[in-house]
Structure 1
Amino acid sequence: MPTEPAGIAVVDDHDIIHTGVAARCARADPPIRVISAHLTAQSFLANYPQANGTLSAVVLDLELRSRQPDFDALTAIVDAGHTVVMYSHLENDEIILRCLDIGAVSYLAKSEGQHHLIEAVRAAGTDEPYVGPRMAAAIWADSTVGRPGLTERELEVLNAWFQTESKDVVAQRLHLSPATVKTHLQRIRAKYAAAGRPAPTKAKLVARAVQDGLLNIDEL
């Protein structure tokens, strides 16, 4: 079962979104605390320059103070070690996939309904990703039938994790933060889930990787 989040932050340039997300989170069972809300990524990072366990997720809009996707804001927040759930009205497959490649653990369209947001926030505190309808469609469109397309870095993290029992060891080996390693693994699981081949455990993930020729069993 997902663990209860320590609290979330909302970064959106419309304060009505702050109010709406906080109200929906308060009605969740059990409630989710919105402990910080910001109009800009700069304001958020001034208060949370590095992930420190206070926040389980950052709910981030993709358009901040402009009508253009702000991928730089997402990159900066991910690079600071935060777990990011995108929450945007943009539904273009290419945009969704780019956000996932940068490091967002989930992407939700605002048109999908706030119950998806609650599920995504709860999942952000676990190793299990939440795949909403638009995110699933984008991943599916980007993959061959049944086989997700993993990036070179995802494959590197996956192989390193298969060879050790600790994400911290993987992080040290690849010079990444533990939070970044976790994000890569969440995204890999999300891609398998969207392809109709969920891999909720490490054993299942090993099996999928061997089936797809991504891993030689002799390497373990």
Structure 2
Amino acid sequence: MSEAPDATVRILVVDDHAVVRAGLLALLEGEPGFAVVGETGDGMEAARLAQRLRPDVVLMDLRLTDGTGSGEGEDGIEATRRITAAVPGVRVVVLTSYRAQGDVVGAMEAGARGYVLKAGPPEELFRAVRTAATGGTVLAPEAAERLAGQVSDPGAALSERETQVIRLLAQGHSNRDIAAALFLSEATVKTHLVRIYRKLGTENRASTVSEAVRLGLIQLG
């Protein structure tokens, strides 16, 4: 195990799978210098807990599902963005099974200070948490490679959710239809569209679909 730091790192664990959460809690509580101060499987609840508990680090699952039944759930990138905007000083480390370039870039753009794969060794997770707690940034080697590829892939900054929105957009669906298909509110869909327009440099639905096809983000037909 790693040497204990001078001060205890307070951690909030966010993962929508209870069994995974339990495993993370056992792993983190067994490491000297770590203290888990809260846990949740919901992104919106994570933001509320972060504001109330003021942890040093939020360990965030990238893929969150709506466990409230409200249809208003948000993924780990959206939750990260919400937390980093509302709670200055709290660092987010994304923990995921996915290695998609868009996810890496989206997480870092949202303010994450680390991107660690669940399949990696515990020491990699511990290092990421400690580094984030002191203001540094840590990427799993696979994530660093994908982040470096952003220069040659202009569409890499799109999150998976944003890509889903574009696919439905290309099929001619209205904001209401997209919201229903993705279990989101219409306001959230509009927010996604604004971000998509900004990232792709487009101004309307038609040009967005055209640019997404040009970049190979979606295929028509």
Name the TM-score, length of structure 1 as normaliser.
0.56
Which aligned pairs between 1:2-151 and structure 2 lie closer than 5 A?
Answer: 4-28=7-31, 30-49=32-51, 54-65=54-65, 69-81=75-87, 82-143=90-151
Cα distance, 1:69 vs structure 2: 4.7
Instruction: State whether residues 106 and 135 of structure 1, in contact with CA within 8 Å, keep that contact through their aligned partners in structure 2.
Output: no
Do 1:25 and 1:31's aligned partners in 2 also have CA atoms closer than 8 Å?
no
For the residue of structure 1 that corresponds to 2:51, the secondary structure is: coil
Tell me how far apart the structure 1 counterparts of residues 136 and 51 of structure 2 sit (CA, whole Å).
26
Q: CA deviation at 1:44?
A: 2.1
State the alpha-carbon separation in 1 of the partners of residues 80 and 137 from structure 2. Answer: 18
Q: 1:3–1:126: 8 Å Cα contact kept in structure 2?
A: no
Distance 2:101 2:6 in 1: 30
Q: Note the aligned Cα RMSD (angstroms).
A: 2.6
Tell me the alpha carbon deviations over residues 50-105 of structure 1, each in whole angstroms, 9 at most, x when there is no partner: 6x7x4110001111116995432221112122310000111101210111011101
Q: Which segment drifts farther, 67-76 or 5-14? A: 67-76
Q: Which letter does structure 2 place at the counterpart of 1:92?
A: A
CA distance in 2, matches of 1:68, 1:93: 20
2:201 match: none
**Aligned-partner Cα distance in 1 for 2:122–2:57:** 16
Point out where structure 1 has 5 or more consecutive residues left out of the alignment. 145-220
Quote the Cα distance in structure 2 between the aligned partners of 1:24 and 1:7: 14
Partner SS state of residue 139, structure 2: coil
Query: 1:139 and 1:89, CA in 2 relative to 1: closer, same or farther beyond 3 A?
Result: same
The Cα shift of 1:5 comes to: 4.0
Matching residue's letter, 1:46: R
In 2, the alpha carbon distance for the partners of 1:61 and 1:76 equals 14
Separation in structure 2 between the aligned mates of residue 96 and residue 60 of structure 1, nearest angstrom: 13
Q: What's the CA shift for 1:106?
A: 0.7
Alignment deviations for residues 137-157 of structure 1 (CA, whole Å, 9 cap, x no partner):
12232358xxxxxxxxxxxxx
| Contact 1:14–1:39 (Cα < 8 Å) also in 2 | yes
Work out whether residues 11 and 37 of structure 2, in 8 Å CA contact, stay in contact via their aligned partners in 1: yes
Distance of 1:95 and 1:104 partners within structure 2: 11
Counterpart amino acid of residue 57 in structure 1:
V
The answer to whether the 8 A contact 1:7-1:56 is kept is yes
**Distance in structure 1 (CA, Å) of the matches to 2:74 and 2:117:** 16
Query: 2:51 touches 2:86 (CA, 8 Å); kept in 1?
Result: yes
**More off after superposition, 135-144 vs 91-100:** 135-144
1:3 shift after superposition: 5.1
